[in-house]
């Protein structure tokens, strides 16, 4: 099963490497990873997507907790968190196909951020699953290049502390 982990780390050299090294060393697989600043200048947020059993997930969380630079590990449970991702895709767009592509883009609230003589670049922001659908729909037109940021997420404003984090506190 796929899980999203949101990890707060001290913004120190090597902190990210320690996390990724832990995944490699313990044989855990990362599906996607996104890193960026948070509301605190000295703290970064790493959002990790992993596909594993519950038992492995608990191991990952506990092992990550032991890293000195890791401040907090939270699982973002579906329904209790908002998750977003950004997709840029360059699609072949000869003049006779443009209108069709633009119409498709509108359905997904995709923006055209660049336009060339025979290609255009879409930008889509949304839940990662939606990006995947969009990708499938434009694929027949010919995808020239594609980049995704990896998902980021936050617990919903209506939920302060996810249950999982509390449970881990007991174990610590």
Binding region for other proteins (CB under 8 A): 9-10, 13-14, 17-18, 21-22, 25, 55, 58-59, 62-63, 65-71, 170-172
> If DSSP states are collapsed to H, E and C, what string results for 139-156?
HHHCEEEEEECCCEEEEC
Which residues face 88 on adjacent strands? 123, 147
For other proteins, give the closer residue by CB, 9 or 76. Answer: 9
Residue 18, φ and ψ in degrees, nearest 5: -65, -40
Kindly state the smallest distance separating residue 37's Cβ from other proteins, in Å.
Answer: 17
Based on CB atoms, which residue is closest to other proteins, 26 or 111? 26
Q: Name which of 17 and 103 has its Cβ closer to other proteins.
A: 17
Is 18 or 98 the residue whose CB approaches other proteins more closely?
18
Q: How far is the CB of 169 from other proteins (least distance, A)?
A: 10
CA atoms within 13 A on the CB side of 28: 26
- Least gap, CB of 51 to other proteins (angstroms): 20
Q: How far apart are CA 139 and CA 133, in angstroms?
A: 10
Query: Least distance from C-beta 46 to other proteins, angstroms?
Result: 13
Q: Dihedral of CA 53/66/24/18: which sign?
A: positive
CA separation (Å) from 148 to 123, 132, 151, 162?
10, 10, 8, 27
């Amino acid at each position: 099963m796929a899980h999203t982990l949101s990890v707060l780390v001290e913004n120190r050299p090597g902190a990210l490497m320690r996390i990724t090294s832990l995944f490699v060393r313990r044989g855990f697989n990362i599906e996607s990873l996104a890193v960026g600043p948070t509301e605190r200048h000295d703290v970064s947020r790493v959002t990790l997507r992993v596909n594993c059993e519950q038992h492995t997930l608990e191991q990952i969380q506990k092992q990550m907790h032991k890293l000195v630079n890791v401040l907090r590990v939270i699982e973002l449970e579906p329904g209790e968190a908002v998750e977003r991702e950004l997709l840029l895709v360059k699609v072949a767009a000869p003049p006779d196909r443009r209108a069709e592509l633009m119409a498709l883009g509108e359905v997904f609230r995709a923006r055209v951020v660049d336009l060339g003589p025979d290609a255009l670049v879409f930008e889509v922001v949304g839940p990662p699953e939606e990006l995947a659908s969009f990708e499938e729909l434009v694929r027949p037109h010919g995808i020239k290049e594609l980049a995704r940021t990896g998902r980021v997420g936050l617990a919903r404003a209506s939920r302060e502390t996810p249950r999982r984090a509390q449970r881990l506190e007991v174990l610590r």
